[in-house]
Structure formats: C-alpha cells, structure tokens
Amino acid sequence: MIRQPDANTNPYVPIIMITGHTEKKRVLAARDAGITEILVKPISAKALYQRIVNVILNPRPFVRTKNYFGPDRRRSLNPNYVGGERRNEERDPLIPQPALEKAKLAE
Amino acid sequence: MPTCDGEKVAIETFADYQIIRPPNTLREKVRVTADDPVARAEAAVAELSPHFASWMDAECDCLDAARASAHASGLTKSTAAALLHAAHDIKGDAATFGFPLIAEMADGLCRLIESAREPSQIPLALIDQHVDAVRAIKREQSGEEASRIASRLREELDRASAEFLGAHESAAAQETASPPIVP
C-alpha cells in the first residue's frame, strides 16, 4: 500500500523485494505492483549490496498511468524496438493486481 | 505540487501518463566508509553458520508436522497450504544454510502442490517421498555418493510428479531467477 500516489507516507520509497517465489508470473506481478528491485532466494550479500547501490545511485523515474504507479519498468531504451506504445493501457492491459484493486475499491 | 521529504517533485505530463522525478534524498543520507560492507555482511553470516544445521532441522520438523497433519486430516485446503508453507520456507533457506540439494527437493514439492489443479488429489505417498527425501539428504549431509543419490532421487520424484500433474492437466509455472539490474 506504499505505492499510492496520494498516500501520506512517501510513495517513492525504494522497495527491494526478497522472495522464494520464483514463478515468472509472480515476479511480473510484483514488478507491476511497483517494486523497485527483486531478489530471488538464495541471495548473497553482494547481490543485495548491488541492488541497494543501484537504488541510491541510479534511481529510475516514476511513472503514473491509469493502472500503474511505480518506478519506470523500462530499465533501458531499445533503439531497435518497432512495436506500439505499450503504455497504452487499453491496448496492452497490465497483469491484474487483485490486492491493489481491492484496496482501490475500499478507498 | 507534491513533495518528497519536503522537496518538490518534478512531474512531466503526457497524453495518458506522467513521468515523476522525485528528489534523490537517499544519496544525501548515504555515509561512505572505508571498509567493505559485503565482506562485513559475509562475516556476519559466517558467524551464524554454526546454527545453520539446527535451523535446517527445525524447518524439517515443521515439514514433518505438516505431513502428519495431512495424514491425519487428509489433503484439505488448509493442510496443503501448511505443507506448501513449510516446503517454501525450506526452498528459500536451505541453500543459504548449505543444503542446496534440500532446496531443490523442496522446490519439487512446492511445484507439485502449486501446480496441481486439485491438491486433494495428490497421492499422499508422493508427498511422503518428497518429505522423506528432504530428511534423508539432511541426515546424509554431504559426500559425492550422497549428492549423486540425491540428484537421482530428485529426477525420479520430478518424473513421478510430472506424471501425476500431466494426468491432472496441471498448469506448470514458468520459473525465473533474480532479474538483472540492467537487462
């Protein structure tokens, strides 16, 4: 519930998620919930340190769309990309986030 | 204009999205020290390492208890969840504790429970075989022969799980590791 653009707490706080869930579906869901970095267990001190350094030295801008608020999920620009604009939510909807939807309804 | 830590946040507005650049307040708060923080963290983990085997035993006990509940009450939603929880804990911790083969075995059990459309249909014997394998690997600990047998056991259990899941039209999950910082 940190990633609420109008929350009283700092909605831009970096979130480094450490998880044993390795299913791609869950990792993508976490990304679409607005986490900054994800580490899949087992983790090493070096891997965690690199993420912390990255969060501090290379912060990504935040993106706010109709259905997403969080760090830019594009970490690099691909000059060879020729597809459509995927920020168009109607054409390319996000993975549904039941927990977030529920929270929005409860507001 | 929204603020972050009392500083203004720069917002660019486009047709259907906004790009927001909050001030990097963390950078100002970081203190640079001469020592190597990774080495310090690794030393702290090494100090804890004498406890790893007993922590692994405690997690194996939890898995055993979950198995016993499944036997007593059958594979219900709650006993299957308890088994998955215990196996998931082991999957996440075992490699850190120095038991990568146990992590693999627990991963197999997690996949079996998570991929089954009807966990209540999973044969208890297949659950038992996974739990017993976890226990056996912990007991034998290490050695080339033990590793070879454990790998073979894992293959056989994976095959048996795949057979069961295949017969029950499972939706096997695609696995991934930590994504790189910059793809």
Chain segment B45-99, per-residue pLDDT in tens: 999 999 999 999 999 999 999 999 999 999 999 999 999 999 999 999 999 999 9
pTM: 0.78
A102 or B73, greater pLDDT? B73
What interface predicted TM-score (ipTM) does this complex get? 0.77
Contact between B88 and B134 (Cβ < 8 Å): no
Q: Model confidence over A18-49: pLDDT tens digits?
A: 998 878 888 889 999 999 999 988 899 999 99
Contact between A40 and B176 (Cβ < 8 Å): yes
Q: How far apart (Å, rounded) are the C-alpha atoms in residues B11 and B29?
A: 23
Contact A89 B16 (CB under 8 A): yes
The closest alpha carbon to B97, from B51, B139, B65, belongs to B51
Alpha helices in chain B (DSSP H): 25-29, 37-48, 52-73, 77-93, 100-115, 124-140, 144-167
Q: Which residues on A lie below 8 Å from B16 (Cβ)?
A: 65-66, 87-89
Q: Which of A4, A8, A9, A22 is the best mutation test for B, with the most CBs of B within 10 A?
A: A22
Contact A59 B37 (CB under 8 A): no
Q: Model confidence over B122-177: pLDDT tens digits?
A: 999 999 999 999 999 998 876 778 888 888 999 999 999 999 988 765 555 566 67
Structure tokens that stand for B66 in this block = 């979950």
Q: How far apart (Å, rounded) are the C-alpha atoms in residues B155 and A57?
A: 44
Q: Coil, strand, or helix at residue A62? A: strand
Contact A42 B95 (CB under 8 A): yes
The closest alpha carbon to A73, from A63, A85, A65, A82, belongs to A63
Contact B177 A22 (CB under 8 A): yes
**In chain B, which among 11-40 make CB contacts under 8 A with chain A?**
16-22, 24, 26-27, 30, 37-38
Q: Which of A2, A6, A8, A12 is the best mutation test for B, with the most CBs of B within 10 A?
A: A12
Under the banding of pLDDT at 50, 70 and 90, the label for residue A93 is: low
Q: Which of A16, A62, A73, A81 is the best mutation test for B, with the most CBs of B within 10 A?
A: A62
Under the banding of pLDDT at 50, 70 and 90, the label for residue A103 is: low
Q: B91 to chain A: nearest residue by CA?
A: A20
Of A40, A57, A64, the CB nearest to B20: A64
